[in-house]
Structure 1
Amino acid sequence: MNIHLSHPPHQARCHPESMAMRSILNTTLVFGLVRVPVKVYSATSSHDLNLHQYHAEDAGRIRYEKRCEVEDEVVPSEEIVKGVETKRGVVLFDEDDMASLPQPSSREIETLAFVPGDQIDPIYYEKTYYLGPGDGKTGPYALLCQALEDAGRVALVRFTMRQRESLATVRPRDDVLVLETMMWPDEVTLPTALDVDASLSAKEMELAQVLIDAQTGEWRPEEYSDDFQAALEELIEAKRAGKPAPKAKPERLAKVISLVDALEKSVERADPDRAPAKKAARKSAKKAAKKTARKSTAKKTAKKAAARRGSG
């Protein structure tokens, strides 16, 4: 095990609540003739630890060169252009070609319509941002936020950032405007090719509903955690301390059982009180087995007694 202390020590990941929010874009949200200066903030961030590639001998970071596959030579940045691969070959674009394209503006967020939020399938949503008041003007901002809240609508807008244009929605959340970017309609694949056709019994449906009821609760995000990332941090600390890696828990493979049995066992595991019928059935089966055993013993005893009388 090689520990190279020349590299910066591992640091605990930052949590969003401990970080100062920094705007990533200043723009204007326009609806009608009303202009609302806003600042854009990231609403989410990944807590994943980035695993890079290193040379096992000396912990040197593995780097990749921009190498031309035709000449097998490293190409300087000034000789690199953009392009796209088509059926007829590669089409290259220089700076003039790119300049001829319509340049999406990030100076304004254009409102296209106001729609009921529940009409939009969540599959369209991509990334979430907060919109904060810009230029210290909170009046128009508060007006739009309250108007959307009262109307029960979300604003469908056109949003551009880093030369990428997308649809987005703007909605109120705890007196703050939230912008969620969306996929374009042609980027969403419809599940028409998935063939789902199954006949379900009343028993299966009943047990499935009981299982859902048994596991129904409130959404409390603080109750959930990323077990893999926690285990990765534990492994890092163990390696730094020169300790052996923690042993992974063996994965138990579930036995192949019928759908009804799987549902019944799931209900028992989620809430034993919700599966009284099965327990009662087991008790009845045990009692019946005992009665049958008693009757069988009595019959054998009677036969033996009759045999003795006949022989006497």
Structure 2
Amino acid sequence: MRAVWTGAITFGLVNVPVKLYSATQDHDVSLHQVHGEDGGRIRYQRTCEVCGKTIEYADIDKAYEEGGATVVLTADDLKALPVERSREIEVVEFVPSEQIDPVRFDRSYFLEPDANAAKAYALLLETLKETERTAVVQFSLRQKTRLGALRAYGDVMMLQSLLWDDEVREADFDAVKNPPKVSAGEKKMASSLVENMAADFAPDRFTDDYQEQLRTLVAAKLEQGDALDTAATFGEEPEAEGTADVIDLVEALRRSVEANREKRASSSGGAGGEKEGAATKKPTAKKAAAKKPAAKKAAPKKTAEKKSADKKAPAKKAAAKKSA
């Protein structure tokens, strides 16, 4: 990684020299514009509307226009600003981490400590972890004064630039001002759907389908050229089933719960089948157990017959004596 900024974190009398690295990167397939007929690249030129010449980027200055007057600001003018010269990430205050709304997060950066500041860096990192607080900071980067959140991210400190208060819009919608009433049944069914779809967030389970399909398309185009049948390669878009006739919100939620259950059952595979098999075996065992007492009851019957046979035997002996 290449450092995008070098400076120091300052809080109180403590100064921690650090380097700033971008914590995120773009994974999109890089595309450029061409002329559809002959494939020629489309180039953009910076042309001066006064002299008509093509201007190099190094010769371009910035300007501000107001009331017909134009003020040109050169690179040296901008560098002369005190804030632009600042190389400090100044800690203003420490706030509870949950008080910073995620809507304010802009860009994320990793902070690497200087070799001589490793202990001070580790101290601040551990303090942020234990207190569960985030440092609100101010710093200057790329000709802008920025507000930032300095927080613990695993074993490193992360600096996230924040949007200023006037950069976050208000949600000015009629539906928000006059919300419709929600019935208890609808809330119960919606809660059931949420519980049914509950899981721990694992970002590695998700993929950028568009970029994957775009790479497949590029590879197929390289192999087959214009002869590629795109519709045959990717197929037609499937139509959504069972949504056109669903009007009742509760019914729609109920169907969603059932569909998600079926989806989870199919994804679980053989594990679910084994459970079902085990469940079907249990009643059989119970039936077998129920039959065993019946077999035991048959035994007393035989003893009764035996007793009656024993009674008849003395009777026969007595009759034999009389006849003698």
TM-score band (shorter)?
0.7 to 0.9
Q: Deviations over 1:150-206 (max 9, x none)?
A: 111111001222222210011112121011100011111121445321111111111
1:66 aligned onto 2:46:
yes
Please state whether the residue corresponding to 2:207 is helix, strand or coil.
Answer: coil
Residue 208 and residue 64 in structure 1: after superposition, are their counterparts in 2 closer, same or farther (change >3 A)? same
* Residue aligning to 2:300: none
Contact kept? 2:83, 2:140, Cα under 8 Å: no
Please state whether the residue corresponding to 1:205 is helix, strand or coil.
Answer: helix
* Fraction of identical pairs, as percent: 37
Larger Rg: 2
* Residue aligning to 1:92: 71
CA RMSD of aligned residues (A): 2.4
1:181 aligned onto 2:161:
yes
CA positional deviation for 1:121: 0.8
Residue 213 and residue 72 in structure 1: after superposition, are their counterparts in 2 closer, same or farther (change >3 A)? farther
d(CA) in 2 for partners of 1:51 and 1:163?
29
d(CA) in 2 for partners of 1:72 and 1:201?
69
* Residue aligning to 1:162: 142
d(CA) in 1 for partners of 2:151 and 2:172?
31
d(CA) in 1 for partners of 2:164 and 2:262?
47
Residue 154 and residue 125 in structure 1: after superposition, are their counterparts in 2 closer, same or farther (change >3 A)? same
Contact kept? 2:148, 2:162, Cα under 8 Å: yes
* Residue aligning to 1:207: 189
d(CA) in 2 for partners of 1:53 and 1:222?
32
Q: Which moved more, 1:89-98 or 1:53-62?
A: 89-98
d(CA) in 2 for partners of 1:228 and 1:209?
31
1:257 partner letter: V
Please state whether the residue corresponding to 1:170 is helix, strand or coil.
Answer: strand
Contact kept? 1:81, 1:92, Cα under 8 Å: no
1:225 aligned onto 2:207:
yes
Q: Deviations over 1:62-108 (max 9, x none)?
A: 10111345x5823424764322455x346332327546644423511
Match of 2:107 among 127, 135, 138: 127
CA positional deviation for 1:211: 0.4
Contact kept? 2:193, 2:253, Cα under 8 Å: yes
1:263 aligned onto 2:253:
yes
Contact kept? 2:23, 2:108, Cα under 8 Å: yes
d(CA) in 2 for partners of 1:135 and 1:23?
15
d(CA) in 2 for partners of 1:226 and 1:99?
40
* Residue aligning to 2:234: 247
TM-score by length of 1: 0.74
Residue 257 and residue 89 in structure 1: after superposition, are their counterparts in 2 closer, same or farther (change >3 A)? farther
Q: Which moved more, 1:76-85 or 1:197-206?
A: 76-85
Map 1:10-21; keep pairs closer than 5 Å: 21=1
Contact kept? 1:159, 1:181, Cα under 8 Å: no
Please state whether the residue corresponding to 2:84 is helix, strand or coil.
Answer: coil
TM-score by length of 2: 0.71
Q: Which runs of 5+ in 1 are unaligned?
A: 1-20, 275-312
Between the two proteins, the alignment pairs up a number of residues equal to 252
d(CA) in 2 for partners of 1:92 and 1:194?
43
Q: Which runs of 5+ in 2 are unaligned?
A: 265-324
